[in-house]
Structure formats: structure tokens, C-alpha cells
Chain A
Amino acid sequence: MHAHLKRMVTIFLLLSMLIVFLTGCWDSRTIEDQLILTGIALDVADDPGKISVTAQAANIQQGKAGSGETGGEGSNESIVMKATGDSLTACLTELDRDSSQKLLFHHNQIRLFGIELAEQGIKKHLDLIMRDQKARLEVPIAIVDGRGEEALTAKLSEMPLSGLFLGNNFEAQSAISPQYRVRLIDFVQRLLDGTAAPVIPIIKVTGEDDKQEIKMAGMAVFHDDQMIGRLTNEETVGYILSFGNVKKYNIVVSDGQNQAGLHIATLDCKREVTLRQDGGIQVSLTITSVVSVSELHGFKEMKPPELLKYLENLAQEEIKNEITDCFSVAQTLDADIFGFCTMVSKKYPKQWNEMKERWSEVFSDIDLSIQVKVRIPETGQIVQSLEMEENMK
């Protein structure tokens, strides 16, 4: 009986202690006190040497927002706050001070940089984001053609929270190619590589007042952490294709009056670097792709079997041209956006030590060979187009 009582008292005491220890009250946060951040943008401030931070948060207490101006179609669905300071910490402190709620970083969807800040360099502004446990490295980053704040204050008809829209949009784009969604960790890895040029998508806000849209506007090319140039949307295609792992992407091929829309089901690229006798680099890209026909105009003179062969050739040429064009732009910018230097450093570490100082010279002299093999196993629900059908009568 005594032992039983002792045991009961012990269990009671332990349970009492658990109540104290397991509640975790220090780190408790009620949702009403949180401003759930959906996007953050960094820009150059009017004062020289300072930065301006714009934070967009979801308004979970519609109508009971803290300070700051509200965005969205009069529905108060987003809260946009701005602060200016010497550093990101100073800006975030100001934002916190001026708000009745705490900024919650965990669900941030996008990090944006204005183009002017990107040209000045963004490395020093990444420290807080990388250091803070609440900030996530997998959040995509993008450059705004203009000021970063424009994207967060944009009144989109599709979705009131532009941060959420951009997060979803980049997620959808990454299904086509992982290169479309550049996460902070990807950018940092390229930065640490030293010689390879980081690339970040550019977005642009178009339209006026309540009918604004956010469009993809190519890719920003960096040297170290400073933006030095850009690829257009068309040039970006070559960049994407050169890495392979492309799925569900459409290209248009044409030959005179004939035009075909082709749907790339899968595209893989095997990349290889070899040293040339003269000390230069030979890069071989071997691309294999499975494509289906999505639209045909013209090709009246052709019969289906020869048409498919012809389309395969056209697609092969198109893919080759896209990559070659993009490569020429990269050479003009003197920016190894393809990461060929990383491949050389891994395959030829000894030669790389000697080569890295003159990589700029080596890159401009790279011998790029592209072999493309396209297969078109299907043509959709119909084989020949109506125009071809008429010609066959």
C-alpha cells in the first residue's frame, strides 16, 4: 500500500511538472498578433547609401489592420508597409515598431529586388535572410524591372496578394524547368562558385490602376552579386534548354509559310566539357527530346510520315538555334551563365587552378557543339491538318 501511494504521488508530481514544461509558453504566438508576410521587396532609397524595404502581408483581420497602407481591390486583403534604413535589420525594426502586429516570416512567398539595387549589388542584403532561422532559403527571388515595391503594391485582378501570385507563378514555372524558379540557396551556391554568373528571373509590372499585371521579362545576369545585363524572354529559352530537365514546354517552328506549334514533353541535356589541345575548352551538349505536335499551319504538300521527319528536323534546328543565340549573348556579356566553369573545375581541378584567372578569355573562345535528337511519337487527336486534308482530295 505504501509503495502504491508513493508511486501515485510520484506520477502526480511528474504530471504537474510536465504541465509547466510542456506548454512552451515562451514561444507561443497567437495568430491575431501576426502579420503573415507574403512578399518582401528591397530597393535603393532616396537617401544615398540607404535601402527601402517594402513588406506585403496578408490581412487576416480584415478591417482591423495595423498601420501601413492597404493594397488589393478595396477588400483590405493585403497590407503593404514600407521602411527606410541603413540595413535590412534597421528597416525590419522600423516595420515592427510601427505595427501593432509582429511580422511572421515563415510563409513568405517571394523576395524581390529593384533593378537599381541589383545593379549596385545584393550580397550584403542577403546576410540577415540567410542567418535568420525564420527566413527560408527555398523562397524564390526575382528582380523587378523598375522598383521592387511596384510588384508588391500592384493591384492584380487575378489575385489580390501579388506575393502569393508570384510564389504560385514561379512554382508553376518550375514544373517546366527548375531554372525558372531561382531560390536564394541556388543564388548563393552560384555566388560561392566564384566564376559562374548567377541568373535571376526578371518580372515587370504592366497596366495601370486597377488593371495591373505582372509579366515575366527575361533573366537578370549577374557578375558576382551585381547585375550586369539581361536575357530577353526569347534568349531565356536557350538558357533553359541548355540545362535539360525541361517538361511541358511549347515551341514554335516555322519554314516560310509553314508553321508548327510543338509541345516538348521531355527534354534532357547531357553536358560534357573537354580540354582542347590549344588550352581551350570544348563543350558538348547532347540533347534528346520527346515532342508532340500541338498545332499545324501549312505543310500542304506533305504526307504525314515525311511531315513528322521534317518537323523533327525543324525542332532540332530550332533548339540548336535557341541555345546558340543565348550562348552568344552570354559571351557578349562575358558571363558564364551555363556554369561551364563549374564543370571544368570538377572535371579538371588541376588545370582549373591555372585557367580560372583567365576564364573570361577561355569562355569567349569556347567551342560549343550541340547535338539534338528530337522524336515525335504522336500528333494529338488528328494526324494531318484540315489544310493538308484539302490538298489530299
Chain B
Amino acid sequence: MKIDKSQISGKQFMFMVAFFLQSSALLTSFLAGITKNEAWIPVVIDIVLCIPLIFLYRTLMVMFPEKNFLQVLDEVYGPVVGKIIGISYVWFFITLAAVNLIDIGDFAKITFTTETPRMVPTLICVLVTVWAVRHGIKVISRYSKLFTIIEFIIVGVSIVLLFNQMDFTNLLPVFTQPAIKYVQSVHIIATIPCGELVIFLMVTPCMKKLTPRESTKYWFGGVAMGMIVLLVVLLRDIAVLGKALHLFTLPGLVALRLVNLGEALSRMEIIFAVALAMLLFFKITVLCYVSTIAVAQLFGTTQYKRLAVIVGILIMAYAPTLYPSSVEHGISAQTIVPFIWTPFQILLPLLTYILAKIRKLPKAITPAVKKQEV
């Protein structure tokens, strides 16, 4: 059963992955809170450590090219256990979308529309998201390349504007904190931006046929673009804010406020606002799409367009119940969330892969796939 009939190319997929990762680059305060001005070190470590994880996702995609992840679970674990795990994944996708919806609401509330009820920006976001989801993955992915390029330009321009205020000695000293802090940070990055890429296993059936080599290229190309932006943004913020980095809820916003290149080029936080709104909107759209497809898969229907509205409303109603305040949201992102996400992002995909190998799945291999090396 193919729920969304539209198809995307490998390149579009790559830019979706890149943009999805970039969206975490602007909300780095939970990282800075742990390793402070050494927050760039865990990112560098994670760039290396995430290679096996991304390879695992890529392999699952290559092994089951016609199936989304919920279908894979059904096949590997059987219909009953597969459905139970599938339900938990639906919860995971919807929660992820809701958490990001909170972020966009918080951002609007504490920065530019302080007196406007939080409901207004989130409602607008959900409306546009649902509209996009109803048009399928092709429409969503079409913007990813443009958005990724705009994000690269925004990061590049912000570096040029802030260059006169950067002090790269702020990156020093290194490894002065207890080892557990680095472990915690590495775990956070592995789960919060990197591990979230597991959601892309839901779009597998919409991909045009790729060889394993192409899959590797597009997965790692996207991850490289995303992680480089994450690292560069973090380095920029540390170089500008130094030891004060961890004090701020949105370090990128504060850094861009410090731009001072004459009267005309000062206080450029609007750049951050544009970038954050664009990135979070895209992320929520992808998550809403994935949640909708997952719900459709669970109920065995292909009418996902009608479900999109319901899922959108569900995400919107669910979001305010998650955290009583942004402080608890931040603390949870630092302490609890990485542990809750780990089974969904690392353990279950790994177990699925191992079981699939043991059970020699997929059994019904099409001749085209048969030739491919996994």
C-alpha cells in the first residue's frame, strides 16, 4: 500500500535532510548550558559518531525501498508487535512535531510578538503546514533546496556582519569540564538533531529508485551540509558571546543583535527571525507529514489528505500540554528527552536491522533490488 503517490528525487531528499538538521542549529542553548563555550567539541565528536547511525538509516532504506518504516516494522516484527511498535512511533512523530511547534510559539512570544497570544503564530503555522502536507511530499521537498541555500546565505552573511566582533580565543580552553558533560552533550546531539533523521525512513516509498551508492551519497551529503551549518553557527555564537553564551535562551538572536557596522548595518536580528521561522516551519511540515502518513499507515488508509487536518489539530492541542514552561522544556531537552528518544532513534532501528538480517528479510525481492548490494 503506497499512501502518498508523489515521488521525490535523491537530491530533493538530500536537501530535506540538510534543512531538517539545520533547523536545530538555531536552538543551541540547551547545548551551551552543559558544555558552555566548549559546546563545539561535542558537535565535532558527533559528526564522526553519527556516521554509523546514518549508515544504519541508509541501509534500512536500501533494504526496504518500497516500504515506509511502519511497514518495515510490520514485516520484521509481525503484524501484532509491529503495530504496537508502530503506535509508539506515531506518538514519537506527533510529539516531535508538537515540541517544535512549542519552539516556534516560544520564539514568537519572547522575541517579536510579545503581546500576541501564543496561539496565533502556532495556528498560522499549523494551517500552512496542513495545507502543505495535503499536497504531498513533492511540494514539501520542492522548497527544501531553496530554503537550504537561503540558510547557507543567511549564515554566511551573519558571519561577515559579526566578523569584527569574533574572538576565536573564546573557543579555548578545551576539555576542562568533567567527561560526563561531554558524554551528555554528545548524547543530546546524537538524539536531538541526528537521531531525529529516523523520520525520513517514513518517506522511503516516495523516493525515486536509487542505487545503494546514490543513497549513501544523498544521506551523507545532506547530513554533512546540516552538521556543518550546526557547527559553524555554534562557532560563530561562541566567538561572539564567549563565556556569556550559556546565559541566553537564543544565543544566535543575541549575537545578531550585536551587529554594528555603521548605522545602516546594525541590529540584524531580523535575519535570525527569518531563518528560524523558515527552518522551524519546514521542520514542523516534514514532521506533520510523517505523522500523517504514519497515522494513515496505522489505520490502513490512503486518504492521508483528510487525516492531515486531524493530525494538525492533534499536534496543536497536544503541544501546550507537554511542558508548563520554556525552562522545563529546556531542562527536559538536556536530561530526559535524549533517553526517551534513544529507543526510537537508535535501539529499535538497530534491532530491526539485526532481526531483518537474521530472518533474511525482505523476502519478496524484486529483480531490480536483487542486484543491489546492501
Interface residues, chain A, CB within 8 Å of chain B? 17, 21, 24, 26-27, 130, 133, 136-138, 183, 185, 188-189, 192-193, 343, 345-347, 349, 352
| A136 adjacent to B257 (CB under 8 Å) | yes
> Using Cβ atoms and an 8 Å threshold, which residues of chain A touch B174?
349
Using A26-B115, A189-B241 as known contacts, list a sample of 19 further A-B pairs with CB atoms less than 8 Å apart, ordered by residue number in A.
A21-B120, A21-B123, A24-B113, A26-B117, A27-B113, A133-B114, A136-B267, A137-B254, A138-B257, A138-B260, A138-B267, A185-B241, A189-B242, A192-B242, A192-B243, A345-B173, A347-B172, A349-B173, A349-B176
Interface string of B116-128 (1 = CB under 8 A from A): 1100100110010
- Check: B225 CB closer than 8 A to any chain A CB: no
How far apart are the CA atoms of A306 and B174 in the complex, in Å? 50
How far apart are the CA atoms of A357 and B170 in the complex, in Å? 22
- Check: B110 CB closer than 8 A to any chain A CB: yes
How far apart are the CA atoms of A192 and B258 in the complex, in Å? 18
The listed residue (A26, A185, A352) touching B258 by CB distance below 8 A is A185
Taking A185-B258, A346-B169 as contacts, is the C-beta distance between A133 and B111 under 8 angstroms?
Answer: yes
Interface residues, chain B, CB within 8 Å of chain A? 110-117, 120, 123-124, 127, 169, 172-174, 176, 241-244, 247, 254, 257-258, 260, 266-267
Expressed in whole angstroms, the minimum distance between the Cβ of B184 and any Cβ of chain A is 20
The listed residue (B123, B127, B244) touching A188 by CB distance below 8 A is B244
How far apart are the CA atoms of A185 and B251 in the complex, in Å? 12
How far apart are the CA atoms of A26 and B112 in the complex, in Å? 11
> Using Cβ atoms and an 8 Å threshold, which residues of chain B touch A192?
242-244, 247
Expressed in whole angstroms, the minimum distance between the Cβ of B164 and any Cβ of chain A is 9
> Using Cβ atoms and an 8 Å threshold, which residues of chain B touch A130?
247
Residue of B113, B117, B242 with most partner-chain A CB within 10 A? B242
> Using Cβ atoms and an 8 Å threshold, which residues of chain A touch B241?
185, 189
Shortest Cβ distance from B263 into A: residue: A171
> Using Cβ atoms and an 8 Å threshold, which residues of chain A touch B111?
133
| B169 adjacent to A26 (CB under 8 Å) | no
| CB-defined A-B contacts under 8 Å, sample of 20 | A26-B116, A27-B112, A136-B257, A138-B257, A185-B241, A185-B244, A185-B258, A188-B244, A188-B247, A189-B241, A192-B242, A193-B243, A343-B169, A346-B172, A346-B173, A347-B172, A347-B173, A349-B172, A349-B173, A349-B174
Shortest Cβ distance from B121 into A: residue: A21
How far apart are the CA atoms of A27 and B112 in the complex, in Å? 8
> Using Cβ atoms and an 8 Å threshold, which residues of chain A touch B114?
27, 133
Shortest Cβ distance from B171 into A: residue: A346
> Using Cβ atoms and an 8 Å threshold, which residues of chain B touch A345?
173
Taking A133-B114, A138-B258 as contacts, is the C-beta distance between A189 and B244 under 8 angstroms?
Answer: yes
Chain A interface helix/strand/loop/mixed:
helix
Expressed in whole angstroms, the minimum distance between the Cβ of B58 and any Cβ of chain A is 39
The listed residue (A24, A133, A193, A346) touching B110 by CB distance below 8 A is A133
How far apart are the CA atoms of A223 and B116 in the complex, in Å? 42
Expressed in whole angstroms, the minimum distance between the Cβ of A300 and any Cβ of chain B is 44
| Cβ-closest 4 pairs across A and B | A349-B173, A346-B172, A26-B116, A192-B243
Shortest Cβ distance from A193 into B: residue: B243
| A137 adjacent to B116 (CB under 8 Å) | no
How far apart are the CA atoms of A188 and B258 in the complex, in Å? 14
Expressed in whole angstroms, the minimum distance between the Cβ of B237 and any Cβ of chain A is 12
> Using Cβ atoms and an 8 Å threshold, which residues of chain A touch B176?
349
Shortest Cβ distance from A192 into B: residue: B243
How far apart are the CA atoms of A346 and B242 in the complex, in Å? 12
> Using Cβ atoms and an 8 Å threshold, which residues of chain B touch A343?
169
> Using Cβ atoms and an 8 Å threshold, which residues of chain A touch B110?
133
How far apart are the CA atoms of A46 and B123 in the complex, in Å? 51
Expressed in whole angstroms, the minimum distance between the Cβ of A109 and any Cβ of chain B is 12
| B116 adjacent to A24 (CB under 8 Å) | yes
How far apart are the CA atoms of A188 and B240 in the complex, in Å? 13
How far apart are the CA atoms of A346 and B238 in the complex, in Å? 14
How far apart are the CA atoms of A27 and B254 in the complex, in Å? 21
> Using Cβ atoms and an 8 Å threshold, which residues of chain A touch B257?
136-138
Shortest Cβ distance from A22 into B: residue: B124
How far apart are the CA atoms of A347 and B174 in the complex, in Å? 10
Expressed in whole angstroms, the minimum distance between the Cβ of A21 and any Cβ of chain B is 5
| A21 adjacent to B242 (CB under 8 Å) | no
How far apart are the CA atoms of A24 and B115 in the complex, in Å? 9
Shortest Cβ distance from A346 into B: residue: B172
| A27 adjacent to B116 (CB under 8 Å) | yes
Expressed in whole angstroms, the minimum distance between the Cβ of B251 and any Cβ of chain A is 12
> Using Cβ atoms and an 8 Å threshold, which residues of chain B touch A352?
173
How far apart are the CA atoms of A369 and B174 in the complex, in Å? 28
How far apart are the CA atoms of A347 and B173 in the complex, in Å? 7
How far apart are the CA atoms of A352 and B111 in the complex, in Å? 39
How far apart are the CA atoms of A343 and B172 in the complex, in Å? 9
Shortest Cβ distance from B116 into A: residue: A26
> Using Cβ atoms and an 8 Å threshold, which residues of chain B touch A17?
127
